[in-house]
Amino acid sequence: MENRRDDALTPEERRRLPGRLLGLIRANALPLVLLGCLAVFLLLLGDVLSSDTMRIDVWAYWLFVQKLRVSWLTPVMMGFTALGSPVILIVLLLVIAAFAPGRRPGWCCAVNLVLSSLLNVGLKALVQRPRPVGFRLIEETGFSFPSGHSMMAMAFFGLIVWLIWHYERDRRQRLLLSGAFAVVIVMIGVSRIYLGVHYASDVIGGFAAALIWLAFYTRLAVPLFLGEPSVDGGAVAPEAPAVDDAAASDAGSALQ
């Protein structure tokens, strides 16, 4: 009978292995998210530039347009798509500036909104993908990839989720609010497909681009506005005024 190899795992080590792997994933969450989103975005971009019809676009059209499009659901989808419009985002920005606890959340959200919207405009100008035609329920102008509503929803509401998760002390509040905003983000993207103004690949590309943006913004810019999160929640940064109406107006002009 052969002796056990020196490098073989003991039963105790095998039992602890899943926990160690999970800890390794958590410790490297940001690079993993960046690599995953970058891979998704580049794959979609390659197909878009080659003008190939993607299976995901065909499947999404079959599901959301042919199967799920009914009269009572259309106003619901129009309501969700309105949540990603410039006017609504500006209103929400003013609400954050007026009522959010903490330090300088308004400026943090305003800069994020302006810069991510400029990034979306630049990407659309480079790719220049035409919008879907023939089954729109609303009229939209401009190019299609990546979806502006989807990208802005992920950038704006995604930052709010990040702030809640890192600065809210109450665990139940973190879970409830983060879940609610996550549903809003997803439904804004779905509504763009349902209403016929974007392909599914536009929406997924917008989500991926926004997550890449947020990975850098939350690492580099948020600490400058709010300071690093303390151990028990909250921020460790000096008090400063929140965003004013002028900053919100600048964000609105960049979104137009």
Asked whether residue 140 carries a pLDDT value surpassing 90, the answer given is no
d(CA 3, CA 180): 56
d(CA 50, CA 139): 26
Domain ranges of the chain: 39-255
pTM of the model: 0.80
Is residue 209 pLDDT above 80, yes or no?
yes
Helix axes 86-99, 245-255, angle to 10 degrees: 160
Question: 14-47 pLDDT, tens per residue?
Answer: 666 666 677 767 666 778 888 989 999 999 999 8
Whether 242 shows a pLDDT value over 70: the answer reads no
Distance between CA atoms of 6 and 233, rounded to whole angstroms?
A: 45
Classify each residue of 158-176 as buried b or exposed e, where b means 16 or more C-beta atoms within 10 Å of its C-beta.
Answer: bbbbbbbebbbeeeeebee
pLDDT at 201: 94
Q: What is the pLDDT of residue 13?
A: 63
The better pLDDT of the pair 25, 207 is held by 207
For the chain, the average pLDDT equals 82
Query: Residue 151 above 90 pLDDT?
Result: yes
Task: Write down the pLDDT at residue 50.
Answer: 86
The residue among 177 and 3 whose pLDDT is bigger is 177
